[in-house]
Amino acid sequence: MGKGQAMETALKASNAAKAGDVATAIAVLRQRFGDRLQTGEAIRRQHANTITWIPNQPPDAVIWVETGEEVREIVEVARTHRVPLIPFGAGTSLEGHINAPFGGVSVDFRDMNKVLAVNAQDLDCVVEPGITRKQLNEHLRDQGLFFPLDPGADASLGGMAATRCSGTNAVRYGTMKDNVLGLKVVLANGELMTTARRAKKSSAGYDLTRLMVGSEGTLGVITELTLKLSGIPEAISGGVCPFPSVEAACNAAIATIQSGIPVARIELLDELQVKATNLYSKLTLPEVPMLFVEFHGSPAGVAEQSERFGEIADDLGGGPFEWTTKPEDRTRLWQARHDAYWAGRGLRPGVQVIATDVCVPLSRLAECVTETQREIGAHGLVAPIMGHVGDGNFHLTLLVDMADPAEVKAAKILCERLVERALAMDGTCTGEHGVGQGKMKYLAGELGAPALAAMAAIKRSLDPDGIMNPGKIVAVE
């Protein structure tokens, strides 16, 4: 069955369900939640995919929840009436994770954003899923602590866990799988499951925490997170370093990792992305491939690391590496890096933006990026590239005029070929965006039929009625 057909079948099922159960479920939930349940079209559309070319598939209703117990009540109603539930954090996901292809109820966590505990001595905290990373770091700053993951968007922590997100700091601090100590999750049977306690490590049974991280709401709804925290580094140094080619920049990243320098961030911007960034952020960087680099540690440590990185860059024909420990200079640069997505958009205002990512073994990174650049050029497309290259992970910001069918077709071919290329290099179809709807078709090619069958078996075992964010990650009969 092709993708189009599958979508059509799904939509029919959705319409069928709407006629019966959803109306009853919404009536019951409206009784309970009053004005906190909304069914207006604008609100429903805002709670489905809006920022990529995946079609907007709105839920039937949206509820703003305030407690985990409320989530449990909603699950009970959903289970009784076999209605899909779609958890909603900040709505910044990119692969249609928040769409409602079978209709159902969107559960909005905006108002569940409390910090429940900060255990400074243990370097951990307990939060509700709706808190965003900026809100959390604002809360933590006075205690000299921070939550290091930085996906660019001001995503919610619940959403970050659900999509196994990472970002610019992952090369040093790991991804969400490494920074979630434990979760509370409402399962499809209405039970509240604790996945782990606060010990820093445990070998007590199946790793339910890691099973839930990255499950995109398809196995349960996260209602509480215990997160690892890090101390704000004593010193931070950072700067930018130009390179004669993307290849030289990637090789500098590889050499940095291999030589054991504990780089905190090492971000590639290709020529076009640098140009976009200069325009958007009013910088005057040379328009060549650039690495944005940052080191965390003691003052002596970050100075030593910065110098060693400068030597590596020099050996590869790059540089000069201009670095500083002055917060104002660093902040300006990293603000520009964080605005790279918006800068990219600025290259062709008004067109559709497709943000996609892949991740490959480090040794294949330069080849993967340069081949991708070549293909972008061959199609005459506009697509700046930036990447978390210490992890072998990079992003395309494809700018597509949806009114031009030939361009849309070329963009689709480019995206398909990008994934094929990454898989041929033993990489993954997504380093940090997740599968959602958009990348379901690639999973079998990446992991094979036995892994997909195992995922489907796990999905059925924990969600036999298929009410938990159906139509994402893995298809279940």
Per CB under 8 A, contacts with a second copy among 135-194 are: 163-166, 170, 174-175, 177-178, 187, 191-194
- Which listed residue (268, 336, 432, 470) binds a second copy by CB under 8 A? 432
| Complex with a second copy: residue 67 or 119, whichever CB lies closer | 119
Q: Which amino acid is at 63?
A: I
- Which listed residue (9, 24, 50, 259) binds a second copy by CB under 8 A? 259
Q: How far is the CB of 207 from a second copy (least distance, A)?
A: 5
Residue 273 in contact with a second copy, rule: CB under 8 A: no
Half-sphere exposure of 89 (CA within 13 A, CB side): 28
Taking alpha carbons only, the member of 125, 217, 148 closest to residue 434 is 217
Tokens of 138: 């604002």
| Complex with a second copy: residue 25 or 359, whichever CB lies closer | 359
- Which listed residue (52, 428, 437, 469) binds a second copy by CB under 8 A? 428
Residue 477 in contact with a second copy, rule: CB under 8 A: no
- Which listed residue (73, 108, 124, 150) binds a second copy by CB under 8 A? 124
- Which listed residue (69, 154, 416, 426) binds a second copy by CB under 8 A? 426
Taking alpha carbons only, the member of 260, 195, 252 closest to residue 223 is 195
Name the one range near a second copy by CB under 8 A: 270-278, 332-340, 395-403, 446-454.
446-454
Q: How far is the CB of 67 from a second copy (least distance, A)?
A: 18
Name the one range near a second copy by CB under 8 A: 54-62, 241-249, 271-279, 451-459.
451-459
Name the one range near a second copy by CB under 8 A: 20-28, 67-75, 317-325, 424-432.
424-432
Q: How far apart are the C-alpha atoms of 380 and 225, rounded to whole Å?
A: 45
Q: How far is the CB of 280 from a second copy (least distance, A)?
A: 27
Q: Which amino acid is at 312?
A: I
Q: How far is the CB of 455 from a second copy (least distance, A)?
A: 5
Q: How far is the CB of 255 from a second copy (least distance, A)?
A: 10
Helix axes 449-462, 440-447, angle to 10 degrees: 120
Residue 224 in contact with a second copy, rule: CB under 8 A: no
| Complex with a second copy: residue 83 or 219, whichever CB lies closer | 219
417 CB burial (10 A radius; 0-12, 13-18, 19+):
middle
